[in-house]
Amino acid sequence: MSGETNLPTLLRQMTPVLQEGTYVFCTVAADYQLPLAEVLGTFREAEGLTLILPQATADRLGLPYDYEAAWLTLQVHSSLAAVGLTAAFAQALAGAGLSCNVVAGYYHDHLFVARPDAERALQVLRQLAASA
């Protein structure tokens, strides 16, 4: 299943959904042992392993963080080869003064915005979809 590549279709159908909870980004040593079921996402960098975790998990493990995020999922199945979707929503969010950290999954794009900005980000994304 390859996903959608047409930008106007992607924008019209992106349907942002706010996931429950608060999420944080932490960094640990590359050999840190954590059950995969406790982690939303990882990325290996030269400086260590970045973890995206529910805030409660990071707190329980005593892992430091400085950014509390809301998790938005764009419900359209976007192709990893699609051109322009990330640029379009990033520009719309930036225009509203909202930061955004993006993780591309196989099926969907996942956006992490500052927790207090979640509802505003949803509004901006819905407006972008409606105007496409």
Please state, in angstroms and rounded to a whole number, the distance separating the CA atoms of residues 121 and 132.
17
Q: Are 51 and 26 in contact (CB under 8 A)?
A: yes
- In the chain, beta strands by DSSP E: 16-18, 23-28, 41-45, 48-54, 68-74, 101-104, 109-114
Please state, in angstroms and rounded to a whole number, the distance separating the CA atoms of residues 76 and 105.
11
Band of pLDDT at residue 1, cut at 50, 70 and 90: low
Question: What does the pLDDT average to over 125-130?
Answer: 98
List phi, psi (to 5°) of 111: -115, 135
Sketch the domain layout of the chain as residue ranges: 7-131
Q: What pLDDT, on the 0 to 100 scale, is given for residue 36?
A: 86
Please state, in angstroms and rounded to a whole number, the distance separating the CA atoms of residues 49 and 17.
27
Q: What pLDDT, on the 0 to 100 scale, is given for residue 30?
A: 87
pLDDT tens readout for residues 98-110: 999 999 999 999 9
Out of 3.30.2130.10, 3.10.129.10, 3.30.70.100, 2.60.40.10, select the CATH number for domain 7-131.
3.30.2130.10
Band of pLDDT at residue 35, cut at 50, 70 and 90: confident
Average pLDDT, rounded, for the chain? 96
pLDDT tens readout for residues 49-83: 999 999 999 999 999 999 999 999 999 999 999 99
Q: What pLDDT, on the 0 to 100 scale, is given for residue 2?
A: 83
Band of pLDDT at residue 34, cut at 50, 70 and 90: confident
* Triad 16, 20, 25: Cα angle to 5°: 90
